[in-house]
Amino acid sequence: MEDKRYVTVDTMDTLTEMVNHIKKHDIVAFDTETTSLNPRKGKIIGLSVSAEVGVGYYMPTIIFRDGDLHDCYIEDTLCHDIAKRVLKILATKKLIMHNGSFDSRFVKGFYDIDLVPSLYADTVLLVHTVSEEGAGDGVGASFGLKEIAKAIQGELGIDMEKEANEEQIELKASIKNNGGSTTKDNYEIYKADLPILSKYACADTDLTLRIFNHYIKILKEEDLESFFYDEEVMPLYREVTIPMERNGMLLDMALILQSKEEIIADLEKYKKLTIKELIKDPRVKEWVIEKALTTFPPNHKGGFAQQLVKEYEYDIPKSEKTGKYSLTAATIATCPDGPIKNFLKSGNTIYLEEDIAIKISVKMWRERQGGDYFNIQSKDHLGSIAFTALGFKPLSATDKGKDKFDEDFIQSISGTYEWAKNLRIYNKLLKIKSTYMDRFLDRQEDGMYYFSYKQHGTVSGRYSSDSQQLPRPKEEGEDDPIILKYNNNIRAFFISKPNYIFIDDDYSSLEPRVFAHVSGDDNLKKIFSDNLDFYSHIAIQTEKLQGVSANPKDANFLKKVQPSKRQSAKEYSLGIAYGLKSYALSKTLEISLKEADKLVKGYLEGFPDLAKWMKYTEAFVKEHGYVKVQTGRIRHLPKVPYLYKKFGDSILNWEFQRKLENSLGKEVVTNMARDYKNGINNSFNVGIQGLAASIVNRAAIRINRLFKERGIDGKVVANIHDQLVAEVHEDSVEEAKVIVQDCMENTTKLDGVDLIAVPSLARNMKDGH
């Protein structure tokens, strides 16, 4: 087993040793241990460093002892004070971190020391740059520290599988022994015994350094050093991503609370309308009665009998212990003579009139549903009503073969049935409330909301962020007016800070413009040079339409005279370039396979240079197993050349697949065909998506740099797809507005296609978009 030197820094000698270790090296791996995942609320309980493989130092600043947290001292000096001095030394080094945004934000918040300028490389982003789907293969691919180490444990020369397992067992046992929690949502690592926690912390920085050393070689081999260090990845992380995560955005709390109050009232309204409309139908009434009688059958004991006595207000005493009616033979004897008394005595339902039994059962059933005839949020209830009681035919089934009651089905009948229309509105309102209003209220901190931005969240380089979930503003006619009201007001929840203004700027048709540039097709470039409508021009060229125009100013503008043609073009304008085939297109547009073939053929004939680009890209990925974006990012697709050399394009042939299944099995063949098809499609997609991502990313970097150079009090505070939002002090907003537009339109230049990004000023994100 490899010798490791992991040191707990709790004496002046070990402190001196750690400081000398840091000073001796230029590159140092760094990590923090904390009491929370929230850098604004948690405490730093220790720091760990590693500058040599197999060596690590952990200095505790707080320890858990006797059921509480206690500050640490080294020879009467508070370790927090020592930590600040150590951090200032670290700030002069090239720091390596794994998820550095977390650690640097914690250090800044807790010690007011900014390590971001010293962050040389983040190993999450390093791995993502050379292995964009994560370390490992397939389902096991990951960007977690231990998972990455496991995937390359052979190259690292350690048995990571064994070590990680032993480490977790030891760590969890220690935490539990000290009364701590080890659940995913509440992992109280700070409650582990110091020797165990120290070893764990040292191992993490040691692994971080090892991972850096391994992947930095690959970065160099693939000629990605400039892209990673200088042009995009790390500059974006240091100068845009971490500041966005650190700063957060101000919420209009009064507006959110008012909107929530209003939407709750509207939810109740549409729930009642849905139930009222459905219960009119005798078949639904029968369904309710059947459910009620099945769930709460007549019984002279238990809940039914209790409800019966309560309904008829019989003077029967209640038990002081349970609060229920005491239904003994003696108390029942005091009831008025009649069928109900006879039923309570005997339990024989022959004495109970049917309408009374139904009345009691339905009442109990409704109480269980909160006073309603059925649970409007229960797909089981609504599915049973729709498919069993009302006899509708489902559109699809679940994996288990059960009829699926979902939004697609509701949408399919909402134009005909009022209850379905109201239910659709109810469901959309419920989603708006839970996804936005409730989330913002639950997660806000003193009126601020902090978006998370993952640079490694997509293979293209675009962010994966909860900011991307903000709804797209809809135009009148796109949805019911009440949905538009709430949907389009969500962005108004985010407001600029006092004395600051948002500069809100969204690229105009970024992806289509990149698409035209990448393909090199003059017919596509013409759309933008002549200010034509993208989808109309695509439709005209593809279907060779006569007598119509793609110019919105013309009387025969396609959108005006044949809107369905333009709408269809939306489905394939980028789809075919991304590998959409005739069969899928026929399903999407609900047309014959022959018609879909004609569209695909017409599309490629209408844009011949695009067809050449697709052919070249496909041939390149089949030979080399990767494609490279214009700005440098690489998309690795190694399965494509492997499968191509083994089977050629025959792997996509249905008959060939059936024959191959005899020797390899159906699942293996299906997976290979999927991987091959997806790989080729991804080779088309990444050239466009990856370049679009770089355009936005590099504009954001340039904006923040120019603001800083010119002394402008402002920065980019949000990225939402192709939209950048900068928050700038109102004294500098006019100068900043010019900078934002120039950076977005000119940081990256396209061949024969102009980028258009006209900014607007606003006090909230709704008015600016």
User: Percentage of the chain with pLDDT > 70?
Assistant: 99
Max mean pLDDT among 141-145, 175-179, 370-374 falls in: 370-374
Max mean pLDDT among 31-35, 161-165, 657-661 falls in: 31-35
pLDDT band at 272 (very low <50, low <70, confident <90, very high): very high
Q: Cα(4)–Cα(21) distance, rounded to whole angstroms?
A: 15
Over residues 39-63, the mean pLDDT reads: 96
The reported pTM is: 0.89
Over residues 620-629, the mean pLDDT reads: 95
pLDDT band at 140 (very low <50, low <70, confident <90, very high): low
Exposed (0-12), middle (13-18) or buried (19+): which is 96, by Cβ within 10 Å? buried
Q: What is the 3-state secondary structure (H, E, C) of 33-48?
A: EECCCCCCCCCEEEEE
Over residues 530-551, the mean pLDDT reads: 91
Over residues 335-363, the mean pLDDT reads: 92
pLDDT band at 548 (very low <50, low <70, confident <90, very high): very high
Average pLDDT, the chain: 93
Q: Cα(595)–Cα(600) distance, rounded to whole angstroms?
A: 9
- What pLDDT, on the 0 to 100 scale, is given for residue 137? 64
Sign of CA dihedral 360, 361, 364, 367: negative
Q: Give the DSSP letter string of 642-685.
A: HHHHHHGGGGG-HHHHHHHHHHH-HHHHHHHHHHHHHHHHHHHH
- What pLDDT, on the 0 to 100 scale, is given for residue 389? 95
Is-contact 256 441, C-beta < 8 A?
Answer: yes
Q: Which residue has the tokens 């004070």?
A: 81
Instruction: Please determine, for residue 296, whether its predicted confidence score (pLDDT) is greater than 70.
Output: yes
- 761 pairs with which residues across the strands? 503
- What pLDDT, on the 0 to 100 scale, is given for residue 49? 98
Over residues 509-538, the mean pLDDT reads: 90
Over residues 296-309, the mean pLDDT reads: 93
- What pLDDT, on the 0 to 100 scale, is given for residue 593? 87
| Residue 564, φ and ψ in degrees, nearest 5 | -65, -35
524-533 confidence digits (pLDDT tens): 898 999 999 9
Residue type, 166: E
Q: Give the DSSP letter string of 584-626.
A: HHHHHHT--HHHHHHHHHHHHHHSHHHHHHHHHHHHHHHHHSE
Is-contact 698 232, C-beta < 8 A?
Answer: yes
Q: Give the DSSP letter string of 84-152.
A: HHHHHHHTTSEEEESSHHHHHHHHHHHH----GGGEEEEHHHHHHHHSTT-BSSGGG-B--HHHHHHHT
Over residues 533-545, the mean pLDDT reads: 90
- CA dist 204 to 15, 57, 200, 249, 569, Å? 19, 11, 6, 32, 52
308-343 confidence digits (pLDDT tens): 999 999 989 998 889 999 999 999 999 999 999 999
- Cβ neighbours for 268, distance < 8 A, ≥ 6 positions apart: none
443-497 confidence digits (pLDDT tens): 999 999 999 999 999 999 999 999 988 988 887 777 889 999 999 999 999 999 9
Is-contact 368 294, C-beta < 8 A?
Answer: no
- Give the residue with greater pLDDT, 534 vs 259: 259
Q: Which residue has the tokens 């000023």?
A: 761
Helix (H) or strand (E) holding 8: strand 5-8
- What pLDDT, on the 0 to 100 scale, is given for residue 590? 83
Q: For residue 763, give both structure tokens.
A: 């006090």
Q: Helix (H, G, I), strand (E, B), or coil: what is residue 576?
A: coil
Instruction: Please determine, for residue 93, whether its predicted confidence score (pLDDT) is greater than 80.
Output: yes
Instruction: Please determine, for residue 139, whether its predicted confidence score (pLDDT) is greater than 60.
Output: no
Is-contact 449 249, C-beta < 8 A?
Answer: yes
User: What are the chain's domains?
Assistant: 5-247 (3.30.420.10), 522-606 (no CATH)
Residue type, 109: G
590-601 confidence digits (pLDDT tens): 888 888 889 889
Q: Which residue has the tokens 């009829």?
A: 403
- What pLDDT, on the 0 to 100 scale, is given for residue 357? 94
Instruction: Please determine, for residue 164, whether its predicted confidence score (pLDDT) is greater than 80.
Output: no
Helix (H) or strand (E) holding 724: strand 723-729
- What pLDDT, on the 0 to 100 scale, is given for residue 158? 83
Is-contact 362 286, C-beta < 8 A?
Answer: no
pLDDT band at 403 (very low <50, low <70, confident <90, very high): very high
- What pLDDT, on the 0 to 100 scale, is given for residue 81? 97
Is-contact 7 56, C-beta < 8 A?
Answer: yes
Over residues 64-72, the mean pLDDT reads: 92
Q: Cα(344)–Cα(352) distance, rounded to whole angstroms?
A: 9
Instruction: Please determine, for residue 166, whether its predicted confidence score (pLDDT) is greater than 70.
Output: yes
**Mutual orientation of helices 593-606 and 563-572 as an angle, nearest 10°?**
80
Q: Are strands 94-97 and 27-34 parallel, antiparallel or unpaired?
A: parallel
- What pLDDT, on the 0 to 100 scale, is given for residue 768? 81
Exposed (0-12), middle (13-18) or buried (19+): which is 17, by Cβ within 10 Å? middle
Over residues 576-580, the mean pLDDT reads: 82
Sign of CA dihedral 537, 540, 544, 547: negative
Instruction: Please determine, for residue 47, whether its predicted confidence score (pLDDT) is greater than 60.
Output: yes
668-727 confidence digits (pLDDT tens): 999 999 999 999 999 988 989 999 999 999 999 999 999 999 999 999 999 999 999 999
Over residues 19-46, the mean pLDDT reads: 96
Q: Cα(36)–Cα(38) distance, rounded to whole angstroms?
A: 5
- Pick from 61-70, 75-84, 378-387, 572-581: least confident: 572-581
Q: What is the 3-state secondary structure (H, E, C) of 431-485?
A: HHHHHHHHHHHHHCECCEECCCEECCCCCCCCCEEHHHHCCCCCCCCCCCHHHHH
